[in-house]
A and B are shown apart, each in its own frame.
Chain A
Amino acid sequence: MPSRTRPIEKFAQAVAKCSAEASVYGKCIVADYNSVHKDKCLTEFLRLKDCYMAAAKKS
């Protein structure tokens, strides 16, 4: 019996397609991780999220 794909696995697959955006976002945080505050890297995050949404829709 093929097992059902867990939501987290779908999530992981979609995120894996956005490694470039994830890396840009990560770099933005890591550049100065001693002074992280809310929405410090909002634009980078939104770009990552848009990419993820598009990837999730396709699969």
Chain B
Amino acid sequence: MKPATLRSFLPRPAIRRRIFIERNYAVQAPGNPTLQVFDRHTKYLQKERAAANVERNRQVDYLKDEVAMRLTERLLDINRTFNHVLDLGANSCNIARALTLPDPDPDPSKTTSLPLSSRVSHITAADSSRAMLYRDAELPFNQEINLTREVLDDEERLPFGGNTFDAVLSSLSMHWINDLPSVLAQINHVLKPDTPFMAAMFGGDTLFELRTSLQLADQERRGGVSPHVSPLADVRDMGGLLQKAGFKMLTVDVDDIIVDFPDTFALMQDLQAMGEGNAILGREAGPIKKDVLLANEGIYRELHGNEDGTIPATFRMIYMIGWKEGPNQSQPLPRGSGQINIKDILGGGEVK
């Protein structure tokens, strides 16, 4: 006789819990396997901590505000109204704030020109850091734009349905994404047909001064190097990545912002206060050693320093625009079909 089984008498959750093992198919674009470069949890903690010091965090918003402004200016080129816009990786809603600023390029033929926010009916600002996202929830600009904040579990997995948004913007957040091809494909999925995706992110040569001088300091003081500055996407890669994700009519361009600091410590403190500290997997535990910092100060100044005693830090912004494919979208003409020589329009052609 079969022994009496207890299983049917056990409360259901006890069984459930055992079989509840989460399994996922690996999500990725075809091609190479995904490399994990950044520690997303550390990044989350850094942002939460940075935003906890509200006053200091606002002080160092100069970069994010500037880039958000330059990014939203590009919206002016698109003569449309947007019903629902997503700001992915919103930080402290810098894009929403930039949208409420007065029109940066007013039309002289009109007496009044409305800020860009008048063309955006609804914007959803999404970020994984709650403290950062809600930092400025009390400020007056919130009343001037229809803004919803949404805390994401992870910026690498978008919880939105397909064909939801009329535009997706992202400013200074995508440089911390591990699996860029997958995120770009997801963005393409949540966009409605024939709508734009616009983003700005740190790229290639950002902070190359700090990267090189810390490497030299590490090398001389300790006989080896450890990663202190993130690897970043290159301009040339972005075109390919956008194309792979299915975007059409791509525009990718770069823009350098050089900020002068009094010394290397001011630079590093500002980066930390922005929540943009080092979050590479496999970085050394603990802060940088004092000896290395001391050596770094001397090397940075000699190698890159300005004549007036300040030190420059380069931030290279990559701006990208891609359109989701849609019917009746204008297409690029086939190669070689041009009828007019561009030299005739621009004139000259001789380099003086």
Contact = CB atoms under 8 A, between A and B. Distances in A.
Interface in B280-309: 290-291, 293-295, 297-303
Contact of A29 (B223, B269, B291, B298): B298
A48 to B, nearest CB: 6
Nearest to B290: A11
B36 interface: no
Contact of B219 (A8, A19, A38): A38
B221 interface: yes
Interface string A1-37: 0000010110110011001011111110110010011
Given A8-B265, A15-B265, A49-B291, A26 B303 contact: yes
Contacts of A15: 263, 265, 294, 297
A27 B295 CA distance: 11
B66 interface: no
Interface residues of A, number: 28
A37 B216 CA distance: 9
Interface string B258-293: 000001011011000000000000000000001101
A16 B297 CA distance: 9
Interface residues of B, number: 24
B302 A41 contact: no
B219 A30 contact: no
Contacts of A16: 263
B298 A49 contact: no
Contacts of A41: 220
B222 interface: yes
- Interface secondary structure of A, over-half rule: helix
Q: Select the residue from B221, B295, B298 with max chain A CB neighbours within 10 A.
A: B298
Given A8-B269, A25-B298, A39 B263 contact: no
A12 B221 CA distance: 19
Interface string B185-224: 0000000000000000000000000000000110111110
A27 B269 CA distance: 25
Contacts of B302: 23, 26-27, 29-30
14 contacts: A6-B269, A8-B265, A8-B268, A29-B298, A30-B299, A30-B302, A30-B303, A36-B219, A38-B220, A38-B223, A40-B220, A45-B221, A49-B294, A52-B294
Given A9-B265, A23-B302, A37-B220, 19 more contacts: A11-B265, A11-B290, A12-B263, A15-B265, A16-B263, A19-B301, A22-B294, A22-B298, A22-B301, A26-B299, A26-B303, A29-B295, A30-B303, A37-B219, A38-B219, A39-B220, A39-B223, A45-B220, A48-B294
